[in-house]
Each structure stands twice: as C-alpha cells, then as structure tokens.
Amino acid sequence: MGLRIIKPDTNIDFMGKRVVAMIASILVLALGLGAVIYNGGLNYGIDFAGGINIQVKFARDVEVREISQALRGQGLPEIRVQELGLDRANEYLLRISALDVNAEEMRDRIGTVLSENMTVDSTIQRLEMVGPKVGADLKNKALQALFYAVLFISIYISGRFEQRWMTAGIMAAGLLTGLYVLGLLALPLAYLVLSALLITLGLCWYLRLNYALGAVVALIHDVLITVGIFALLGKEFDLTTVAALLTIIGYSLNDTIIIYDRIRENLRSKNAPPLFQTINRSVNQTLSRTLLTSGTTLMVVLCLIILGGGVIHDFALALLIGILVGTYSSIFVAGSLLLGIGPTPENEPEEEAVQAA
C-alpha cells in the first residue's frame, strides 16, 4: 500500500478562510504594485529596454568592486556589474543601458580595459545587444502574447468546459470588435491590452461565463503577483520572464480546471449540498493531487534553481513563485470567486447523461 499525505476524509474549511486569503492576496498585490511604483516602473532587461549585456568569466575570484574600478574612468558608458549565478563560477554580468553603443566596439574595449587593468585573466563568454527598435517590438509582442493567451484560454474554458461554444464565439467577436474600435483610437499597446482584458472580464460577466471569469481572474492574479514579487526582489524583466509567466498561466489553469471540474461534477449529483460545502468538498477531494503535482514540480524547479546555472536562474525563480501562487490561487481565488458569483447554470443534460453512464 502506498503512502498518503492527505487522509481520505480530510475536510479543511478552505472557503471559510476566503476573507483571510483575500486580504493576503490584496496585501501581496499592493506590495508588488508599491515596488513597481517605487522603482518607477518595471525593471526591464535589455530585451525590452535595449542595451548591452556582456558576461565575463574570470580565471579566479574577483570582487565586483575590482571590476567596477577597472572599468571606471575609461571613457566607457555607465556600466553596472553584477555577479551571476550561485555556484561561485566567477562569472559577472556587465550591463550597459546606453542605447547607441556599438556592440563590437564595446566587446573590444571592455576586453582591452579588463586585460590591461586587472591581473586576472578574463574571457567574454556571451554578448547580447538589443537595439531600441527591436526592444520596443519585443515588448509589444510580449504584451500581445500575454493578452492572446488569456483570450484564447477564456474562450476555450467557456467552450470546452461549459459547452457554450456559441457564447464563447460571441465573446471573441465582441472582444475583437472592441479591440478594432480601440485600435482606431491609436492608443499605446499597453492600454490596448489593459482595455482588452477589462472587456474580456466584462463580457465573461455579462454572458455569465462564470467559470471562465473565475479562471481568468485567477490567472491575472497569478501574473500580477509574480510580476510584483519580481519587482520586490529587484529582478529583471525580460523575454524569459514572459515565457515563465505564460508557463505559469498554463500551470495555474491546470489546477483551476481540475478543481472546477470536480465542483461541476459534484454539483451534478442528485443531493448536492449547498455551493459552499460543494466547493470545500471538491477542493479537499483534489487536494492530494494538487499537493502531489505541485510538490513534484517544485522539486524539479528547485533543482533547476540550485543546479541550473546563472542563465536559467531567474526563469526558474519565476516558475517557483508562479507555481506556489498558482496552486494557492486555484483554491482561494478561483474557488472563492465561483462562490461569490455562482457557477454557470447547467444547460446540457445530454452531456451529463453520457458522463454519468
């Protein structure tokens, strides 16, 4: 017989703690938002802000201070030096945010300055330069990606999950029309995406696509909290972070759908208890799966953070935060929200009959 972490008859009152959870969520969100405002916006990496990153490996231990001193007063643009990775590989990242510098020239000059002013041998291992034009394009694309992910996911949930493809289609059409009209106003893309999200939420509300609404709110919650914690930690925001966010969206949705699936199933049984108990029961029934999957995923993500090296570190960190937040949100945010607005009324008895048989 295998092990059990969660006893079969576990019945934790998750919904009873929803107010505490809500306060916690709002607190973390506010902290993150505060950090973003305090920093004067997100700390964009060179993918979005443009600039040059040069990764240098030294033959032995050096101090960040030594490198900064060696670079100072050489007529080079403002260069920030930071240590890379956790494994003491003597690797450092030199960051130049000035936009109009030539990558080749910088490679040459930094190489020369380091070899002339430091006693330690160094090699340039990696150089990344993103010009302002490409940076702006990448930022737009990343925003679009996040937006379309949320849009398609809400359509998919409404269609596949609630069997309401027509309504989902109406929502998509409404959203695209709204976007077209907004597009005529020539707003910056960030506002466009924000408005699109609000329209999506409004449409979900209006069309009573309640499962989709709950899932999307949970998604936005997860993304905002991860971004906020990244801002709090002073981490940089680049394309890999966006990839991590999209992965988190996928992951968090996994969790939410599995819990919603169970709620829907339990509501269908003949003598279903009131919604409050049903949601609690569903969360408890899926709890051991939730903990197991999150646990194994966290296990490997931790390996990635510890052993994966500097390049992948922030990506793994975003995943770690996202998985923790995603697991929490599928219980407390998605669950509580459904309790607040009520599940979408069932309107496909044939489907049920097939499933029950």
Give the sign of the dihedral formed by CA 11, CA 12, CA 14, CA 16.
positive
- In the complex, what is the shortest distance from the CB of residue 344 to other proteins, in angstroms, rounded to a whole number? 15
- In the complex, what is the shortest distance from the CB of residue 37 to other proteins, in angstroms, rounded to a whole number? 27
Tokens of 144: 């679009």
- In the complex, what is the shortest distance from the CB of residue 336 to other proteins, in angstroms, rounded to a whole number? 21
- In the complex, what is the shortest distance from the CB of residue 182 to other proteins, in angstroms, rounded to a whole number? 19
How far is residue 322's CA from residue 109's CA, in Å, rounded to a whole number? Answer: 40
By beta-carbon proximity to other proteins, the closer residue of 17 and 247 is: 247
Which parts of 43-172 are beta strand (E)? 51-58, 79-83, 91-96, 122-130
The answer to whether the CB of 267 falls within 8 A of the CB of 278 is yes
Nearest to 192 by CA among 178, 172, 171: 178
- In the complex, what is the shortest distance from the CB of residue 146 to other proteins, in angstroms, rounded to a whole number? 8
| DSSP string of 184-203, one letter each residue | HTT--HHHHHHHHHHHHHHH
- Tallying the residues shown for the chain, one arrives at 357
By beta-carbon proximity to other proteins, the closer residue of 1 and 185 is: 1
- In the complex, what is the shortest distance from the CB of residue 134 to other proteins, in angstroms, rounded to a whole number? 4
Tokens of 330: 């599928």
Q: How far, CA to CA in Å, does 253 sit from each of 137, 236, 247, 356?
A: 28, 25, 10, 25
By beta-carbon proximity to other proteins, the closer residue of 186 and 354 is: 354
Q: How far, CA to CA in Å, does 252 sit from each of 55, 221, 237?
A: 34, 10, 20
Tokens of 133: 């034009």
By beta-carbon proximity to other proteins, the closer residue of 9 and 78 is: 9
- In the complex, what is the shortest distance from the CB of residue 197 to other proteins, in angstroms, rounded to a whole number? 15
By beta-carbon proximity to other proteins, the closer residue of 35 and 245 is: 245
Residue with tokens 């609690």: 280
By beta-carbon proximity to other proteins, the closer residue of 54 and 199 is: 54
- Beta-carbon contacts of 75 under 8 Å, excluding residues fewer than 6 positions away, are none
- In the complex, what is the shortest distance from the CB of residue 99 to other proteins, in angstroms, rounded to a whole number? 11
By beta-carbon proximity to other proteins, the closer residue of 149 and 201 is: 149
By beta-carbon proximity to other proteins, the closer residue of 31 and 265 is: 265
- Identity at 260, one-letter amino acid code: Y
